[in-house]
């Protein structure tokens, strides 16, 4: 269970911290080309980087004004679908088209959702720090010192949801996703296997 949530701004970066009973989740996203946005509504907090190609159509679908940006849309879509069924996170993600990565925290349900577009057009990296925290960033250099060999590109075609049990596949959200390191020298977690499906390979680290 998450017990505290904070957002910090450091120059050209925004740090998003969720403290929990067991672990800490840290997301650090750099502001690049003015494509990173932060918004909060009804205890839903979201950091979004990138561009949605179907922003106009989805804004109309969810009853938003023409001036609504991507981060506002993601919050509204998540909230609408959550309150209706609730629908799984993968349903909302299947509606998004474009180049993006985002971190969303729902304080009301203690839910964390992290996703990038299925083709990984916006770089996103993750790893485990020495104290057991999960860290996400769009800048690999921000995590190299703290995550060590656990540092890896976030796998294409996947999203992370603590409410659904961790890393999940867009196409097969009910199937378990497990790390498949090639050997002891392989960066931990760079390749993933979806049960009953194919192996998802993240691009190599440089």
Helix (H, G, I), strand (E, B) or coil at 33: coil
Answer yes or no: are the C-beta atoms of 159 and 90 closer than 8 Å. Answer: yes
Alpha helices in 111-199, H assignment, sequence order:
141-147
- Distance, CA of 24 to CA of 22 (rounded, Å): 7
Helix (H) or strand (E) holding 56: helix 55-61
Confidence of residue 165 (pLDDT cuts 50, 70, 90): confident
Taken in order 78, 196, 147, 206, is the CA torsion positive or negative?
A: negative
Q: How far apart are CA 175 and CA 91, in angstroms?
A: 15
Would you state the pLDDT for residue 147?
81
The Cβ of residue 126 has, within 10 Å, a number of other Cβ atoms equal to: 23
pLDDT reported for residue 191: 62
Residues whose CB is less than 8 angstroms from the CB of residue 101 and which lie 6 or more positions away in sequence, other chains included: 29, 48, 49, 50, 115, 116, 117, 122, 123, 124, 138, 154
Q: How far apart are CA 153 and CA 140, in angstroms?
A: 8
What's the pTM value of the predicted model, to 2 decimals?
Answer: 0.77
pLDDT single digits (tens) 47-101: 888 899 999 999 999 999 988 999 999 999 999 988 887 677 778 888 999 999 8
Domains in the chain (CATH in brackets) are 2-152 (3.60.20.10)
The answer, yes or no, to whether residue 103 has pLDDT greater than 90, is: no
pLDDT digits (tens, 9 = 90+) for 11-20: 445 555 555 5
């Amino acid at each position: 269970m998450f017990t505290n949530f904070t957002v910090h701004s450091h120059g050209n970066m925004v740090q998003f911290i969720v403290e929990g009973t067991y672990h800490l989740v840290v997301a650090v996203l750099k502001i690049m080309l003015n494509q990173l946005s932060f918004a909060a509504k009804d205890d839903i907090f979201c950091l979004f980087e990138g561009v949605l190609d179907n922003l106009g159509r989805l804004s109309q679908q969810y009853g938003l004004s023409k001036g609504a940006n991507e981060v506002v849309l993601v919050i509204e879509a998540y909230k609408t679908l959550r309150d209706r069924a609730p629908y799984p996170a993968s349903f909302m993600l299947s509606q998004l088209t474009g180049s993006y990565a985002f971190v969303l925290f729902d304080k009301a349900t203690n839910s964390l959702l992290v996703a990038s577009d299925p083709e990984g057009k916006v770089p996103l990296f993750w790893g485990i720090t020495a104290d057991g925290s999960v860290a996400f960033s769009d800048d690999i250099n921000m995590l190299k010192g703290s995550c060590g060999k656990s540092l890896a590109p976030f796998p294409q075609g996947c999203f992370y949801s603590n409410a659904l049990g961790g890393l999940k596949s867009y196409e097969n959200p009910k199937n378990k996703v497990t790390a498949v390191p090639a050997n002891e020298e392989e960066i931990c977690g760079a390749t993933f296997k979806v049960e009953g499906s194919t192996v998802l390979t993240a691009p190599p680290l440089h």
